């Protein structure tokens, strides 16, 4: 009796999540953009200088990003490889794969801005992955991996910052509230689509306090509103997260067998930004790379003499993306809270 239940415990805990499958933008892209023709890349130094082997992979950070920490937290590999990275094959992707593309969003017109993968293309690659997985592990095992994997979905910031607030089109069509509803409709369709393809365990990521990204603070400063956070953008993030939460509730009721959670980084991220010193950081308003005020991608280059020497002292790596250490703190928090039920 004791032995039997002990055995059962081992079997169930070992069987919980066989793979991490990732969709989204630069918050979770492990290097897919390296393989497409866009200017939005980060596969050069100083990106990746604190990654394994100091290797710039195309992750928008000095080191690992949240899916890497989450995968490790689930007892899987300590990183999730990009589907388009020629270094990796289906044998690697069987326990984790990333379809994300930096610069994308829920809205097709967001991915057009920098010519990156729209979310429907990410799903096309996912379908392609399913075929390869079936060929590699067999139909039955593939079905098991697909339905028991944890799906991490993280995007939306670019829809507002790169698209709605930067270009005229969407602003002339929608109020910001209507635009949120439009994006939510796409998020719902997206989840229903991957559910239809077999996905069951999902984590939908909320927006960060996007008005506090160093780039937005710099814009605020240039516009003469001080150098604080853009409160308006933070309010939109909070509104959007509330709507995501309602969507999660609705989908859990509507779709049999689905388990979707909202992984909301907003509050913990805001605590870090407001009191960086209590988390061991020196700076939250400017990033490590270059001047820290506006650089990312090709502007964050190795020759810039201003780049900080210890990224662990900074909340942000470049003007738009957190450092590895911030990613680790936020992922650790999500693992202990919303993602815990899947562990
Ligand atoms: C985005 O584009 C794809 C491909 O053209 C299309 O199938 C899809 O319906 C579009 N999504 C939205 C929300 O317009």
Q: Which is nearest to 339 in space by CA: 119, 65, 153, 126?
A: 153
Query: What integer is the mean pLDDT of 73-88?
Result: 97
In a domain, 32, yes or no: yes
Of all protein residues, whose CA lies closest to atom 14 belonging to ligand 1?
108
pLDDT at 11: 46
| C-alpha R_g of the chain | 20
Q: Which two tokens stand for residue 33?
A: 């953009």
Average pLDDT value for the chain:
94
In tens, the pLDDT along 121-146 reads: 999 999 999 999 999 999 999 999 99
The predicted-structure confidence for 47-73, as pLDDT tens digits, reads as follows 999 999 999 999 999 999 999 999 999
- With bands split at pLDDT 50, 70 and 90, how would you rate the model's confidence at 13? very low
User: d(Cα 238, Cα 207) in Å, to the nearest integer?
Assistant: 8
Length of the chain as a residue count? 343
H or E segment to which residue 7 belongs: helix 2-15
Structural domain including 162 reads 2-266+325-342
pLDDT of 16 strictly over 90: no
Residue 248 lies in a domain: yes
Cβ-based neighbour number of residue 104 at 10 Å:
32
- 97 within domain boundaries: yes
Give CA–CA dist 185/179, Å, rounded: 10
- Which helix or strand (DSSP H or E) is residue 94 part of? none
- Please give the Cα distance from 319 to 215 (Å, whole number): 5
Average pLDDT rounded to a whole number, residues 249-263? 98
Distance 106 CA to ligand 1 centre (A): 10
In a domain, 320, yes or no: no
| 50 CB-near residues (< 8 Å, 6+ apart) | 62, 63, 311, 324
pLDDT of residue 186: 98
Residue 1, pLDDT > 50, answer no
A 10 A CB-CB count for 15 gives 10
Half-sphere exposure of 311 (CA within 13 A, CB side): 25
Q: Which atom of ligand 1 is nearest to the CA of 108?
A: 1
**What is the rounded distance in angstroms from the CA atom of residue 113 to the CA atom of residue 25?**
13
| Domains in the chain, number | 1
**Residue among 26, 42, 61, 290 flagged as catalytic:** 26
Between the alpha carbon of residue 121 and those of residues 61, 105, 144, 156, the distances in Å are 24, 12, 24, 16
Taking alpha carbons only, the member of 270, 250, 268, 269 closest to residue 260 is: 250
Q: What's the predicted TM-score (pTM) here?
A: 0.94
Q: What's residue 9's pLDDT?
A: 47
What pLDDT, on a 0 to 100 scale, did the predictor assign at position 39? 95
pLDDT of residue 220: 86
Quick check: CB of 108 below 6 Å from ligand 1? yes
DSSP assignment, residue 262?
E
Give the mutation target among 106, 107, 108 for probing the ligand 1 site: most ligand atoms within 8 A of CB. Answer: 108
Structure tokens at 192: 């229903």
Taking the centre of ligand 1 as the mean of its atom positions, its distance from the CA of residue 119, in whole angstroms, is 9
Residue 298 maps to a domain: no
Residue with structure tokens 């991608």? 297
Closest atom of ligand 1 to CA, residue 106: 13
Judged against a pLDDT cut of 70, whether residue 10 lies above it is answered with no
Q: What whole-number distance in Å separates Cα of residue 86 and Cα of residue 88? A: 5
Mean pLDDT, range 327-341, rounded to an integer: 97
Residue to mutate (ligand 1; options 106, 120, 121; most atoms within 8 A of CB): 120
For residue 12, what pLDDT is reported? 45
Q: Is the CB of 186 under 6 A from ligand 1?
A: yes
Indicate if the pLDDT at residue 4 is higher than 60.
Answer: no
For residue 317, give every residue at least 6 positions away whose Cβ sits within 8 Å of its Cβ, in sequence order, or none. Answer: 60, 61, 62, 287, 288, 289, 311, 323, 324
Report phi then psi at 154, rounded to 5: -140, 105
- Cα 104 from Cα 149, distance rounded (Å): 23
CA of 247 to the centre of ligand 1 (A): 20
Name the DSSP class of 27. T
Ligand 1 mean position, distance from CA 68 (Å) = 30
Name the pLDDT band for 227 (thresholds 50, 70, 90): low
Say which residue the tokens 């602003």 belong to.
171
**Separation of 56 CA from ligand 1 center, angstroms?**
32
The span from the CA of 157 to the CA of 149, in Å, is: 25
Within a domain: 331: yes
Percentage of residues in the chain having pLDDT higher than 70 = 95
pLDDT score, position 222: 81
Does residue 166 have its Cβ closer than 6 Å to ligand 1? no
- pLDDT tens, position by position, 177-223: 999 999 999 999 999 999 999 999 999 999 999 999 999 999 888 88
Q: Is 318 a residue of the active site?
A: yes
d(CA 165, ligand 1 centre) in Å: 21
* Residue 89 annotated to the active site: no
Half-sphere exposure of 239 toward its Cβ, with a 13 Å CA cutoff? 14
pLDDT at 302: 86
**pLDDT tens-digit series, residues 145-186:** 999 999 999 999 999 999 999 999 999 999 999 999 999 999
Kindly state if the Cβ of 22 falls inside 6 Å of ligand 1. Answer: no
Smallest CA separation from ligand 1 atom 6, residue: 120
Identify the active-site residue in 42, 318, 319, 331: 318
Strand pairing report for 150-154 and 201-205? parallel
Alpha carbon nearest to ligand 1 atom 11, residue: 108
Q: Does residue 332 sit within a domain?
A: yes
Crossing angle of the two packed helices 231-254 and 266-274, in degrees rounded to 10: 160
Of residues 156 and 9, the one with the higher pLDDT is 156
Q: CATH number, domain at 102?
A: 3.40.50.1110
pLDDT at 14 over 70: no
Q: Residue 19: what are its φ and ψ, rounded to 5°?
A: -160, 155
Kindly indicate the confidence band of residue 264, based on its pLDDT and cuts at 50, 70 and 90: very high
- How large is the average pLDDT for residues 300-323? 95
CA angle (341 as vertex; 335, 343 as ends), nearest 5: 65
Is residue 334, in this structure, part of any structural domain at all?
Answer: yes
187 Cα to the center of ligand 1, angstroms: 12
């Amino acid at each position: 009796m004791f032995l039997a239940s002990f055995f059962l415990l081992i079997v169930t805990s070992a069987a919980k999540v066989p793979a991490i499958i990732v969709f989204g933008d630069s918050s979770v892209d492990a290097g897919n953009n390296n393989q497409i023709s866009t200017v939005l890349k980060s596969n050069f130094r100083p990106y990746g200088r604190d990654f394994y082997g100091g290797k710039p992979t195309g992750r928008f950070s000095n080191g690992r990003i949240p899916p890497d920490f989450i995968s490790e937290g689930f007892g899987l590999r300590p990183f999730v490889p990009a589907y388009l990275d020629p270094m990796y094959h289906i044998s690697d992707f069987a326990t984790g794969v990333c379809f994300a593309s930096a610069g994308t969003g829920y809205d097709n017109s967001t991915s057009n801005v920098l010519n990156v993968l729209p979310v429907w293309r990410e799903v096309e690659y996912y379908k392609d992955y399913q075929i390869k997985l079936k060929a590699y592990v067999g139909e039955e095992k593939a079905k098991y991996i697909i339905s028991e994997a944890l799906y991490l979905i993280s995007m939306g910031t670019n829809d507002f910052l790169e698209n709605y607030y930067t270009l005229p089109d969407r602003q002339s069509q929608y109020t910001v509230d209507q635009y949120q509803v439009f994006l939510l409709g796409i998020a719902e369709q997206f989840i229903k689509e991957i559910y239809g393809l077999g996905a069951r365990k999902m984590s939908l990521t909320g927006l960060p306090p996007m008005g506090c990204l160093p780039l937005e603070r710099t814009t605020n400063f240039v516009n003469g509103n001080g150098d604080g956070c853009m409160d308006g953008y933070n309010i939109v993030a909070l509104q959007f997260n509330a709507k995501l939460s309602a969507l999660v509730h609705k989908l859990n009721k509507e779709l049999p067998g689905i388990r979707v959670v909202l992984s909301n980084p907003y509050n913990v991220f805001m605590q870090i930004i407001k009191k960086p010193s209590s988390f061991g950081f020196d700076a939250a308003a400017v990033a490590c790379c270059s001047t820290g005020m506006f650089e990312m991608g090709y502007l964050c280059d190795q020759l810039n003499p201003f780049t900080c020497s210890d990224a662990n002292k900074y909340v942000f790596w470049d003007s738009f993306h957190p450092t590895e250490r911030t990613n680790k703190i936020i992922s650790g928090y999500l693992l202990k809270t919303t993602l815990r039920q899947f562990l």
